[in-house]
Structure 1
Amino acid sequence: MKYTSGLYIKALWLVFLAGFSAGCVRGQLGQNISGHYKNGMVVCAYPDAAKIGIEIMQKGGNAVDAAVAVQFALAVTHPQAGNIGGGGFMVYRSASGKTNTLDFREKAPAQASTDMYLDAAGNVIPNKSLYTHQASGIPGSVDGMVEAHKKYGKLKWADLVDPAVKLALNGFKMTARLAADINRNAGQFKKYNPDKNYLTTKVWQEGDVLVQEDLGHTLEQIRDKGRAGFYDGTVADMMVAEMKLGNGLITKADLQNYHSIWRKPVTGNYKEYKIITMPPPSSGGVALLQLLKSVEPYPMHQWGFNKDSTVQLMVEAERRVYADRSKYLGDPDFYKVPVDSLLNTKYILSRMQNFNWNAATPSTSIQPGAIAGYESEQTTHFSIVDREGNAVSITTTLNDTFGAHIFVKGAGFLLNNEMDDFSSKPGVPNMYGLLGGKANSIQPNKRMLSAMTPTIVEKNGKLFMVVGTPGGSTIITSVFQTVLNVIEFDKSIQGAVAAKRFHSQWMPDLLYIEKDALDSLTTDKLQQKGYKITPRGPIGRVDGILKTKWGYYEGGADPRGDDTKMGW
């Protein structure tokens, strides 16, 4: 009996070893092991786009190749924010640890002027910077993808754009959320496009196939001619003709003169982690590093996730950082942004010395520190890592949901309304409540300030996390919370992006919370201290990738949207 039991145990042990070995082989081949992948991962706003990104990597493409393909696919499948008519930022980290950032943010046209949205009395004209042809900055997305591919890509350009061409011309099945978003905005589309019927041919339902023929032909031009297919030729002519129809400012010369810029990342440390993020004209990177350094000395892990002391500390840091943002952040090509001073540890900690644990600091009593805008809720973000370990974090936008709601006739894509991200008048908030001043004033060929915060995190010199989100001014705080959710509160990347969030931005003097973000006891404690808590809808749509200690990629796709994680 003992002998038989021994054989039985030995047999089980051999079966276990065989299964373990097979599992390791499956992992090396890239197949799913409990949601972990070895060869690459894409997390983005729409399933069809994620699938295209994975297929590009399976054909031998790297993370940048996949990012280019995903960017153009999202222009088809996620018209709320995916775009060729907008702009954005890319943070890149190679497998060997080399880093870079690409600024393909839109620019003000050459004919733009500081007071272009003011009336004769000096007051801001309602909606002129939002839903008119003059609301659009010079698009940067196409040039950005061209430059990223030129520097880091492996596959042929045409092979990266062609999947988006096919999606547009052959159509794709709509999710319930996409159908609802288009239907909700149909009145706006008809109002601002009286001579066009893009996206307004019917009341859409889940499962309907959306075909976009004009957009498909525009993408063909980009596929076949690269940069010239958008900034010159027939597509550029259509854009300029559209501008003339609505007294817009973008000219052929503006398009031809647009170029994205490679910039040095801003970096900083949070405990044993290195944060690699976007420099100005994004405010997000500087703000994220300030926030992390502000809270670093405090025992948040001990306090716990979304508990009153944790929330109070983060809100007090956010109020001070957003106050700094209002004064000091802008396009570094036009304004000397004091990045080093803003990121000085002594300065940051000095800003945190005057808050009182017993009472909320009124925002009116907080001013930008002494040193010797807001992004649309419908920005979109995607995170990609390839087999070699190259990582890309890209956030891109049209600003408002569907941008200016104005289509380029014949070309089938939407104009952005990024000009609203400038400060139209000092002290007057933009559409999302952010204040700005001289640093972010309108000037010809200047890039407007952004809150986009694409970020890559290292741990002990190795890739650890790729993260970012849409959400306007809530972008910064959403990335901040997600990073802390993983590092301080031991959440998985999926748990970190799905966790309920809160947001404060100095002005207005409010603490916004998602439903069930704070328990009743925490809410009561904060209200007793004077925090004005305001419930609101979803905050951000974070898409992230975490590299586990075993070397696998684990994805986090935000359940607030159609966001999808795929790996191989």
Structure 2
Amino acid sequence: MTAMLVSRRSLVFALLALGACRAPAPSGALRSTEPAIPPRQAVTFPEGWRFKAGEKAAFGERFMIASNQVLASDAGNEVIRAGGNAVDAAVAVGFALAVTYPVAGNIGGGGFMVIRMADGRAASIDYREVAPLAASRNMYLDAKGNPTNESIVGYKASGVPGAVAGMAEALKKYGTMTLAQAMAPAIRLARDGFVVDSQFYLSLKSSQGYIGRFDAKDVFYQNGEPVKLGTRFTQPALARTLQLIADKGPNVFYRGEVGDSLVAAMQRGGGIITSQDLAQYKAIWRTPIRSTYRGYAMYSMPPASSGGIVVTEALNIMEAMGETTPAWGTAAYAHQLGSAYQLAFIDRNSKLGDPAFVKVPLEQLTDKNYAKELARTIDPRRKTPTPPNATPISDGLHTTHYSVVDDKGNAVATTTTLNNGYGSAVYLKNVGFFMNDEMDDFAAAPGKPNMFGLVQGEANAIQPGKRMLSAMSPTIVLDPQGELLLVVGAAGGPRIITATSQVILNVIDHRMSLADAMRAPRMHHQALPDTLMIETNGLTKETEAGLRGIGHGVRYLGSLANVNAVMRVKGGWEGVSEPRVGGTGGTSAR
């Protein structure tokens, strides 16, 4: 799908609004302290790179929210101002994104949330979709054993949604508000509408051939054109659905009238989700992965997400390579980091899956001694090819991440998705939302690439009731004194892992400001294809020549992932919403 575009004017407006809403922290509220890292260092980006170094981030003295859509971030802001905490706000943002950012925000998909409370408690909740009970290993293969597009588009592409269950469960355990209170901003946005901005319009325009084939054409398009820029867009069916969930709780989605409507649509369209699938769905609390990088503690997501393991493994390899990393932007650094990703993705693609179905060697893969063994295989003078028996992976590109820090020091990192942009393209018009196409995240044909060129192994083969593997990497970082430092995550399929870890590296190793850490050129390696992917104009000619000289294949791509992050600074919090997609802004603070 075409990358989402938005106007700079909208971003400027959002950031100006931030400045206007700053206020002194009240007595007893958390006042952030200066991070326990040396002062930020200036960085020089390659000539021709799209961003300038030294840009400022949005600032808030008390709290900060960063997402892909400013109205959704404002929903979280509203909830915190009303006395809610970061979990309340995260739930508010999640439901609001289903209204204002339907390309990825959702109630018809799923996600992962990592929570770290101010008192030190940490938790993670897995509300990934699951394969319906009628799913089978070869359901997406043709007579010749090749994958079809039924895992990507249409009614058979959907897994059982987990978003409503997951957000409700997170709120119940760690929130302070009722579901109705947390959902009030989203219900208002759906019922009363919002003004269509360039991000929303251009997303619909670029995706018209995809989502226009189903019932979305009657809601999001008029006379063959997307809803007009600058007009107020309402979604009465979605407003009714959200109000039902707020009034009756998540069971109305899984055992009540919303679920009944979903199942009826699946039956009409040839899908396989049943009432039994919905009734059996459960979000799962999991112990977050706790790791360290050069003395900084990190909390990240365990399987069925691969993100926490692979981010940890790659950073452990980087740490094992030496007390300091090579200078940012050099061939030595790109080679070292690309090799670390290559090794970590080889493990990811062959060993990870739903832990209810696969024995995942989590302790081994996140062990620093194991990383030292891998680091010793990296030759600084020569690139090592990916073994021919390695397997590729699969992950959708249109995910969305949001980071929340409240005025008490609670933090939430949430990544949620429909997989492809607008999911399976199936829009349930009676209840007002898109369905996911997460079944494509399984290895439909182990050893063969999916729509994103990723190849996976047996561990991620389709089985009824199984969660498909994900690259989502919501991460919370503490400084060496144990104080909250960074809340970060990304959208972008397998590039989520590499983008998230590079922001962490840029902050810790290269002493970049958050704005520079987010704007710096990114790289990606996923083992197969055995190519170092670089953002266009992201290397100097000297660095590219150095990489090619030691055996790297280099491929340039427009953008690698979509990150949203919040970081502690002296006197408050900085937030940056991904600049690569422009911005209707995404940050909201006080």
TM-score using structure 2 length: 0.88
Report the counterpart of residue 190 of structure 1 in structure 2.
212
Contact 1:81 1:401 (8 Å CA) reproduced: yes
Q: How far 1:359 moved relative to its partner? A: 2.2
Q: How far 1:34 moved relative to its partner? A: 8.7
Report the counterpart of residue 177 of structure 1 in structure 2.
199
Q: How far 1:430 moved relative to its partner? A: 1.6
Report the counterpart of residue 115 of structure 2 in structure 1.
92
337-346 or 308-317, which deviates more: 337-346
Q: Distance in 1 between matches of 2:214 and 2:375?
A: 47
- Aligned partner (choices 272, 279, 282) of residue 305 of structure 2: 282
* 1:413-452 equivalences in 2 (<5 Å): 413-452=433-472
* 1:69-88 equivalences in 2 (<5 Å): 69-88=92-111
Question: Is 2:383 aligned against 1:360?
Answer: yes
Contact 2:58 2:587 (8 Å CA) reproduced: no
174-183 or 440-449, which deviates more: 174-183
Q: Distance in 2 between matches of 1:451 and 1:35?
A: 28
395-404 or 507-516, which deviates more: 507-516
Q: How far 1:355 moved relative to its partner? A: 2.6
Contact 2:350 2:390 (8 Å CA) reproduced: no
Report the counterpart of residue 395 of structure 1 in structure 2.
415
Contact 1:198 1:407 (8 Å CA) reproduced: no
Structure 1 segments of 4+ aligned residues over 6 angstroms from their partners? 29-34
Q: Distance in 2 between matches of 1:281 and 1:65?
A: 24
Q: How far 1:428 moved relative to its partner? A: 0.9
Letter paired with 1:149 = L
Cα deviation, 1:85-106, whole Å, max 9, x if unaligned, reads 0000000001011100000000
* 1:104-503 equivalences in 2 (<5 Å): 104-124=127-147, 126-193=148-215, 197-201=218-222, 202-298=225-321, 303-364=326-387, 367=390, 373-459=393-479, 460-503=481-524
Q: How far 1:555 moved relative to its partner? A: 1.1
236-245 or 393-402, which deviates more: 236-245
Q: How far 1:300 moved relative to its partner? A: 8.3
155-164 or 287-296, which deviates more: 155-164
Question: Is 2:583 aligned against 1:560?
Answer: no
TM-score using structure 1 length: 0.91
Q: Distance in 1 between matches of 2:123 and 2:265?
A: 35
479-488 or 352-361, which deviates more: 352-361
Structure 2 alignment gaps of length 5 or more: 1-21, 33-55
Contact 2:112 2:301 (8 Å CA) reproduced: yes
**Structure with the larger RCO, 1 or 2 (CA within 8 Å, 6+ apart):** 2
Cα deviation, 1:209-266, whole Å, max 9, x if unaligned, reads 2221211111111111111221132211111111012211100111111010000011
Q: How far 1:283 moved relative to its partner? A: 0.4
Contact 1:300 1:310 (8 Å CA) reproduced: no
3-state SS of paired residue (1:253) = helix
3-state SS of paired residue (1:146) = helix
Q: Distance in 1 between matches of 2:358 and 2:114?
A: 22
Q: CA RMSD in A?
A: 2.1
* Sequence identity percentage: 40
Contact 1:399 1:416 (8 Å CA) reproduced: yes
Q: Distance in 2 between matches of 1:109 and 1:366?
A: 30
- Aligned partner (choices 562, 566, 570) of residue 541 of structure 1: 562
Cα deviation, 1:334-388, whole Å, max 9, x if unaligned, reads 11101011122222221222232222212246858xxxx3332210000001111
Q: Distance in 1 between matches of 2:371 and 2:59?
A: 38
Letter paired with 2:135 = A
Structure 1 alignment gaps of length 5 or more: 1-23
Q: How far 1:38 moved relative to its partner? A: 2.9
Q: Distance in 1 between matches of 2:118 and 2:267?
A: 47
Q: Distance in 2 between matches of 1:36 and 1:180?
A: 28
Relative distance call for 1:206 and 1:490 in structure 2 (3 A) is farther
